Amino acid sequence: MEMAEMTGVSLKRGCFAVEDNDSAAPAEETKKQKVSESCLIQGQDGLDSDCVPSRENEAVPPEAVGTGEGKKNSDATLEEEEEDGLSEEGEEEEEAESFADMMKHGLTELDVGITKFVSSHEGFSGILKERYSDFVVHEIGKDGKISHLDDLSVPVDEEDPSEEVFTVLTAEEKQQLEELQLFKNKETSVAIEVIEDTKEKRTIIHQAIKSLFPGLETKTEDREGRKYIVAYHAAGRKALAKVRTAADPRKHSWPKSRGSYCHFVLYKENKDTMDAINVLSKYLRVKPNIFSYMGTKDKRAITVQEIAVLKISAQRLAHLNKCLMNFKLGNFSYQKNPLKLGELQGNHFTVVLRNITGTDDQVQEAMNSLKEIGFINYYGMQRFGTTAVPTYQVGRAILQNSWTEVMDLILKPRSGAEKGYLVKCREEWAKTKDPAAALRKLPVKRCVEGQLLRGLSKYGMKNIVSAFGIIPRNNRLMYIHSYQSYVWNNMVSKRIEDYGLKPVPGDLVLKGATATYIEEEDVNSWSIHDVVMPLPGFDVIYPKHKICEAYREMLTADNLDIDNMRHKIRDYSLSGAYRKIVIRPQNVSWEVVAYDDPKIPLFNTDVDDLEGKPPPVFASEGKYRALKMDFSLPPSTYATMAIREVLKMDTSIKNQTQLNTTWLR
């Protein structure tokens, strides 16, 4: 087994904005840290006149979305960049050049300690995510089975209302009922005339209002010889608040014999998990915190995962398939329990690298190495942000108790790719140091900058700690976990530099949940795949060789005491964790295919199979060649780092953009 340095490769490469396998805290990180990813609501796709979304629910931190018992290490940036379409063809090159110029201020792998490879094969070029459908993620459940969407049928339940409940109300009636439900008008009731007056029709209208608008009750009234269904609040706002919490939703209408949670498989395209749940909650008119899941999946991919929701019928969920684009729900079942963050075993990836330059022999050597040896389990570039101020710098300032620096790092003007309103907000802040004035420049107040400015407006400039505390806990912890990841990457590179890819006395391995040292006489009992390295904290031990001193020196240089990682603010005390240094993917397979049209899909998705589409047929010769690869990874490992090992390339956006400024097209 050989170890190689990373060298500069000046080949044309594609965009590398890649999802990592960040779905849950890793099994080997025995000192897990609770943090999850926050996201903003994007617009809904595919509105249908019969499917009117609620306007009430907003994105919530996932610590409220999960069951509260799972724990997760989030590997996402704090704020996901939206992809803005380039409207004028003539502007594309100028936009790409401008973006490339801005990304000169971004991070490279070298900046975050990613410097080594495990294999010695020659790298080659390939374009990842030329289409988001070139990156497919299937969740691996706690039973070890890979989740697939392969059944759209609804479990038969005699207690379910008729399908007509979804169509009996007009869009205008739904609007009036929603405004009544949310106390958005002065009316105390809404009356709906029963045009075809039969008992069956009245029953369907009663069922439709009660199931689609939790908190409303109904009664039938005669008015001047006509029948009306009157919707009203049974007991005012308190009843609505109670009925819309996770503890007590719609309990009057749920069959006792049925499990309280409807589990289903969610297939989604180009949306992250929290975005998807926010969209589903809007259409179902419920709070997002009644959904639970085992791990988050990122945006720019097709992903398939299991979701559970409290007391929403499979019938109602299946109806969303008629309303939403880029989503499919299926494989419904009723269960007694929700899902918990971290319960999954990992994710299975299907990835296409298009327009590869490697020979068949190069590809074979690279993929055999990935299968047999694996890759260094670095935290990927997504962990550290995309702008000129890396998230680990903010994390370091928090740990140093340097709160003025924390504020400045988050709010000061920065070089790099950012939305225009953020640039204006930062400029206003630099000019006036007036949080209210800077906040007025932000149309979206839920971003980290907006939350901090709101906190500063509320608590004043002399109480930055409380102001910073307004930011959701998961986002605040993401900064310090980014710093831990930065230290870990650097220390692992140094460990491999000094000792290579074999266990040595003084290395750490896990026995159950406990880290122990490899002794001289036991060194042949272990492999490099067993060796773990600590993320710094007060509840971990460090290797018994010179890497221990390297940890100490790095933290001392950052004005931190490795022997005292407890913070006076409890949230920011780091207990630490252990992480394997080399990961060997499972279920690795690959093939090289030829194609002529860069727009054609090179494999079928679950939805393609459901629709009966035949799999693509490839010619023996073609204008381009693509590498299609399949592999499974445990939680909290980065697919980008596996692909980096195959291509032998820097995966940072900065490097990709400088090598190929046209990738935005």
Give catalytic residues, as residue numbers: 298
Residue 256: partners with Cβ closer than 8 Å, 6 or more residues away: none
Please answer whether residues 641 and 75 qualify as being in contact, where contact means their C-beta atoms are separated by less than 8 angstroms: no
Instruction: List the one residue out of 355, 326, 380 whose CA is nearest residue 130.
Output: 355
Between the CA of residue 645 and those of 69, 148, 363, 582, 650, what are the distances in Å? 35, 28, 12, 12, 10
Residue 306 C-alpha from the chain's centroid:
14
10 Å Cβ neighbour count for 145? Answer: 12
Query: Alpha-carbon distance 627 to 514, whole Å?
Result: 40
List, as one string, the DSSP characters of 197-230: --HHHHHHHHHHHHHHSTTEEEEEEEETTEEEEE
CB-CB neighbours of 19 under 10 Å: 27
d(CA 661, CA 665): 9
Report which DSSP code applies to 382: G
Integer Cα distance of 591 and 628 in angstroms: 5
Tell me how far apart the alpha carbons of residues 154 and 90 are, in angstroms, rounded to a whole number: 49
Rounded Cα–Cα distance for residues 165 and 201 (Å): 10
Number of neighbouring beta carbons within 10 Å of residue 158? 5
CA distances from 611 to 266, 306, 330, 556, 615 (A): 16, 21, 14, 59, 11
